[in-house]
Amino acid sequence: MKWEKLKPPEPDDPMCCCECDVFQYGCCCDCEDLDEAFNRWLRDKAPKSGCHSFLLGALIDNLEISLVPALVLLPLLMRVAALHYLLGVMILTALPGLVLWLYYATHKRKRRTLFFLTLALYSLAYMYYLFITEIVPRGDVSRVQLCTVTTGMVFTIVSLVWTKRSPGFVSSTPHEEDINGSQSVTGSIQAEVSSSFSGSRSREKWSRCPVCKITRPPRAGHCRTCGVCVQRLDHHCVWINSCVGQGNHRSFLLTLCVFLLTSLYGISLVLHSLCPQQYLVSALFYCPGVYSQSSSALCFTCAWYSVIVTGGLLYLLVSQLANISFNVTEREAQLALRNKTGQSRLWGLAVATGTYSRGFYQNWVDFLTMADASASGKWYLIGFASNGQWFVRHRASMKMGTAMLNATADGDLEISYASLKSDGTCWRMNNLAKKTDMPGKFTYTSWGNENDMRVVDVKYDQYALIHTVKIDGDHPTVVNKLYGREVELSQDLLEKFRQFSLETGILFENIALLPQNGECTAA
């Protein structure tokens, strides 16, 4: 077997444009193309490709209407399988292959698909519906047991929604770029100072994505399916239609655990109601009289269907736990097998690379406490430097404040700054920094002035150095800020901040390390 068939789904090599297409329509790839199709249709213009049903094809492709037969076939197949145990064995054995065939026949050219997520949620809802309508009326399920199953269902869905919020996308940072365009800072000075800050990064094996053209932290990877770089990328899970990365890996495991516990508990209640005289495991293989009634046969068949799904997800959970124990992601394991740099462990459940492993206990500590490598969250303003007259006048009274940063879905940055004044009141300022074409460069308006803000260097769990040029008429003002995740930073970072400020033309006496201060209450 050639390696191409086993190639990891999230490689870092660029994707050629021919891999992102819809051959039967030859015109749409994503929602942007769908919007363009609508615009051309409203303007009564012909599509560029000349296909006759461009708009209809785009709608079918993006709305995934082919999900309908899959959702209709599931309950139909379950009822056919309930007619006889031989039919049940045949259908349940062929069902996984049928699902894969339907997926490849209708969705194999789609980069992202709701097929598996919709099928999983529909199966969950259908099993719960049968439990309520067929098992509960038998009287063998108490209210406490019913509440437990219902709570597990709700908790599973809530955990799934939380998991899909964000896998931890890599934010662009320009420490490797030549930052130019400032009237008071030359590109060579920026690059020199930036490289001095970035020395620790090179030792941590930061890399540049050949597709996104951004610098990413160690263990981050590019997901070809989503088209973005994800922090500590594990894999792209088709069952949740999202990547599993640093931002949602723990909640992904929680979703698996909650679903498995709920499923196993629900299966045990169903088998206990259908076969009260049998042990739980033996009831799956021998349940006298279960096919005498259509309702009991249907519930028994669905119990077997749930066992198959639960078994597959249990294997996934065990392999995930094994990878965490060796401190390796699924992507790293596949690449290690491809490059023959890893060794199989636990009968092939995990691959030990030895790169990040620090022992079983410390590996789990690292996984449970890993920080989100993004700018979002709370920062303390530790250093402030500027030659602006307003800063010179108020420098002596300035104290440390806090900034809350939140990255929007569009890549902009919401900044909320608060500083506690001596009289106990709070001075607050809110800004929306709009991203630009240059990674790490933002623009925002404050006090009627245009501000050009650039992230010179950042280590998301420690510090961030921000360089801003305020345009006030014909007199631009340079402002440098040093933020920290904690109220104290190392002397080396403080000294580098001073050196950077001097290089950008700020006088030594106008470089301030702000004294610690109380924090404002939430607004």
Sign of the Cα torsion 128, 131, 137, 139 reads: negative
DSSP 138: G
> Cβ distance 71 to 122 under 8 Å?
yes
Alpha-carbon distances, residue 99 vs 57, 70, 214, 450 (angstroms):
23, 8, 38, 56
Which residue reads 């399920």 in tokens? 141
> Cβ distance 270 to 282 under 8 Å?
no
> Cβ distance 28 to 34 under 8 Å?
yes
Helix axis angle, 294-325 to 360-369, nearest 10°: 110
Q: Which two tokens stand for residue 313?
A: 């997800």
Closest by CA position to 208, among listed 198, 196, 221, 199: 221
Query: Going by DSSP bridges, is the β-strand pair 377-386/402-407 parallel, antiparallel, or unpaired?
Result: antiparallel
Four-CA torsion 212, 216, 219, 222, nearest 10 degrees: -10
DSSP 26: S
> Cβ distance 222 to 214 under 8 Å?
no
3-state SS track over 70-137 = HHHHHHHHHHHHCCCHHHHHHHHHHHHHHHHHHHHHHHCCCCCCCHHHHHHHHHHHHHHHHHHHHHHH
> Cβ distance 156 to 259 under 8 Å?
yes
Which residue reads 């519930």 in tokens? 299
Residues noted as catalytic: 237
What gap in Å lies between CA 227 and CA 233, rounded to an integer?
A: 13
**Rounded to the nearest 5 degrees, what angle is found at the Cα of 151, between the Cα atoms of 147 and 153?**
120
